[in-house]
Structure 1
């Protein structure tokens, strides 16, 4: 396999739930296109959580933006939205466990547990919420 070069994608997505499967497909395609050794299933799952949170918890003032950056050491996925408020308990310790009877409330826990790092930062138009996944040596994409 040839050495992996850096690559990035940036795309505007609608501020609707239809953005979630589109974002998953974009991340899967990006990782496969360059035969990137990050865990594709985890990248798809965490991307879906970020996009779903942006759609559910921010006002629908225009599109959200998906940014995928692939590097030899791993990948970083960001979701930009227009709301400057930080995303819940993404980087703060969880004080209480989520209610087992509730349908939601586990997305940020998944991101914290499955990524190598995650966070958020302000942007000129709102915020970016991100996660990183490491490259897994010997990881190959199915043909």
Structure 2
């Protein structure tokens, strides 16, 4: 070679964890996403990723038939991140990719999770798996904001 160093693109990193089929899975899932995204300089927005992950995990806990574990998969990609939640129920999530024609009732406590995922993610969807389904969303990478030097005002 002529002294030129070839830089290979970074290999995507991923995390996979089995979570209990209980509401206790939600804060664990949020913490994993926060930790995973902290590994990258130009990661996806952590607050949005945590919110959408919490919605997916809560939906799986509440709506998925069976009581097998829920699996969380977080993939860090050069273009952002993808989060998947696997559950044992093969039934697709209601209206994830095809919204209702009507707005949700503002007085109801439920019914906005999938709306948030559609609105805040760059893409989302679901797919069948051998043991049920996976519901996913993607978020684009955002540059880190510059922080003032310590002591500077």
* TM-score relative to the length of structure 1: 0.91
2:24 to 18, 30, 48: 18
RMSD: 1.7
Aligned length: 139
The question of 1:47 aligning with 2:23 is answered no
Query: 4+ residue runs of structure 1 moved beyond 3 angstroms?
Result: none
1:69 to 64, 72, 75: 75
Q: Which has the larger radius of gyration?
A: 2
Structure 1 unaligned residues grouped into runs of 5+? none
Q: 1: distance between equivalents of 2:42 and 2:60?
A: 26
Q: 2: distance between equivalents of 1:19 and 1:141?
A: 33
Structure 2 unaligned residues grouped into runs of 5+? 1-8, 148-153
TM-fit CA distance, 1:63: 0.5
The 1:118/1:11 distance shift into structure 2, 3 A limit, reads same
Matching of residues 1-40 of structure 1 within 5 Å: 5-40=11-46
Q: 2: distance between equivalents of 1:107 and 1:87?
A: 11
Partner of residue 144, structure 2: 139
* TM-score relative to the length of structure 2: 0.85
The question of 1:90 aligning with 2:104 is answered no
Bigger relative contact order, structure 1 or 2 (CA pairs below 8 A, ≥6 apart): 1
**Contact 1:4 1:34 survives alignment (8 Å):** no
Q: Secondary structure at the match of 1:139?
A: coil
Q: Secondary structure at the match of 2:38?
A: helix
**Contact 2:43 2:81 survives alignment (8 Å):** no
Q: Secondary structure at the match of 1:102?
A: coil
Q: 2: distance between equivalents of 1:35 and 1:83?
A: 36
